[in-house]
Amino acid sequence: MHAIAGLLRITTISFALLVPLPLGSNTVDQAQSSTIQQLSARHVFDAKVAIGEMLNFGKSKYGERRIIPITGGTFKGSGIEGLVLPGGADWQLTRPDGDVELYARYTLKTSDGFLIQVQNRVLMHIPRNEGKKEPYVRSVIDFEAPSASPYDWLNHAIFLGTLTVPPSISKENPYVIVSVYQLQ
């Protein structure tokens, strides 16, 4: 009975925290907000990510699922470079509307030995019935770098990316190019 009473107390407290409190107007005063901040981005690095053979799960209730193993690669930018370690993967879902959602998770090893975890969420939209427009391929990238490293700054910013699938070169294993930008 005491456990149930404690659970009820926690539930009641949690519910009370979710009740909105009147804090004033939700409108923006245009006179006080005279400038709108413009966003820009700086190039951080490009990664050449080697990929393995696709595993196709087929259609599910959400669309068609695939996994593409990440088998290695390299990355290089201003003040940061190293290897893309094998062992990651790119989980893909082709939605019923034809767009593709990608979720890639892998590890970078910098040239000075630090490991950085990467999570990359990508949206790929191939325009249909809109002429010959280029595909829209953009991503949001999250880095987890060691706090006591020269790469701690990766933990404290928003990163965007592009993904390019180059034409096949018969002598080279398949790869993609991920270009990473830090939102300023």
The Cα 136–Cα 157 span in angstroms is 23
Phi, psi for residue 161 in degrees, rounded to 5: -150, 165
CB 161 within 8 A of CB 139: yes
pTM as predicted: 0.78
- The rounded distance, in Å, linking the Cα atoms of 75 and 154 is 15
Name the residue type at position 134: E
CA distance 32 to 152: 35
**Tokens in use for 125?**
């939209």
Each residue's pLDDT tens digit, 74-112: 999 999 999 999 999 999 999 999 999 999 999 999 999
Q: In the chain, what are the domains?
A: 41-183 (2.40.160.20)
For the stretch 21-75, pLDDT in tens is 455 555 555 555 567 888 999 999 999 999 999 999 999 999 999 999 999 999 9
